[in-house]
Amino acid sequence: MKIRGISSGARALLGFVFVVGSAGAASAQSEPAALFNARCSSCHTFGKGDKVGPDLKGVATRRPRTWLLSWIRSSGKMVKAADPTAAVLYQKYRRQRMPDFELPAERIAALVDYLAAGGPETDAERQLRAASTATPEEVRLGQQLFEGRIALASGAVACVSCHTVSSRGALGGSLGPDLAGAFAKYRDRGLHQYLQRVCFPRGPGVNERKALTESESLALRAFLRISDPGKRVPAARAEGIPAARPAR
Ligand code: HEC
Ligand code: HEC
């Protein structure tokens, strides 16, 4: 298939290079993203829970913009000036103080805009590789991860202990729903989001941990995609993974 002159294979490869390369390549990032990585991410996550300082997801709605601009420039000054929010934060995160950042106002403003626009989370979504670009090996890895024949990097319990995929006749646990239709229901983005957190139990304290790695997410999405009862995927058959059975 040709899309704007580039074969789908080449596009898949480009997407792959972009995702893999993005971890280290500051040049591929926007200026605020690079700034966040270099100066903030050692103490803050975005959507993955508190680290040394608070999780910055939602901070742009939690605090007024002017407050954020002053805070990032000099949190020390605000604590000294007895700003009430600063005092609460200072009390709560006693073990470490946030350093001041003597950066030009435009760079701090751009950083705040970046956080308000979804920050690193939006970057990650933009770079998400589609399940349709998975190689047969990746599909097979997905099946192996699902069945627990290969362990998840997080050490989390294998999907099969709680889920079946009825379209494959896979035997599995019944605590969670049948996942035959999961790809059709959530698609790439929704599924990736869903798998960022352990399914069960969900609740305070459990949510942030045990996210799948990017490659595990891709492999599992790819496996669920070819297990969609409405789909027939030749690549999977070539790898000895039979096409999904039609839904009952
Ligand atoms: C050395 C660790 C450290 C670094 C680096 C750091 N922070 Fe912080 N940050 C903290 C701590 C700790 C707090 C909690 C308040 C305190 O104790 O100073 C905090 C609080 C915050 C808050 C307030 C959060 C809220 O819930 O209101 C914002 C916003 C923030 N930091 C943004 C940033 C940004 C943007 C950067 C990078 C330019 C950054 N921080 C770099 C440690 C750090
Ligand atoms: C300890 C049991 C358990 C394990 C292990 C588990 N899940 Fe789940 N999962 C559940 C439960 C329970 C639900 C239903 C949660 C709800 O409705 O809030 C669920 C829901 C889901 C859903 C949403 C289904 C729908 O139709 O809405 C998906 C997708 C999913 N799990 C995928 C996975 C994958 C992939 C793995 C392996 C990486 C996995 N789960 C591991 C228990 C588990």
Domain residue spans of the chain: 2-120, 131-238
- Pocket of ligand 1, candidates 44, 68, 90, 92: which has the most ligand atoms within 8 Å of its Cβ, to mutate? 44
How many Å from the N-terminal Cα to the C-terminal Cα in the chain?
32
What pLDDT score was predicted for residue 210?
A: 61
pLDDT digits (tens, 9 = 90+) for 26-63: 345 789 999 999 999 999 999 989 999 999 999 999 99
176 Cα to the center of ligand 2, angstroms: 5
Contact criterion met (CB below 8 Å) for 147 and 158: yes
98 Cα to the center of ligand 1, angstroms: 5
Q: Is the pLDDT of residue 108 over 70?
A: yes
Question: Does the fold of domain 131-238 match that of domain 2-120?
Answer: yes
Q: Which amino acid is at 230?
A: G
| Domain 2-120, CATH among 1.10.760.10, 3.30.1490.20, 1.25.40.10, 3.40.109.10 | 1.10.760.10
Q: Which ligand approaches the C-alpha of residue 163 most closely?
A: 2
Distance CA 183, CA 179 (A): 8
Q: Which amino acid is at 156?
A: A
Q: What is the mean pLDDT of residues 99-125?
A: 92
Rg (CA), the chain: 22
Q: Provide CATH code, domain 131-238.
A: 1.10.760.10
Number of other CB atoms surrounding residue 30 within 10 Å: 12
Number of other CB atoms surrounding residue 172 within 10 Å: 21
Q: What is the pTM of this model?
A: 0.55
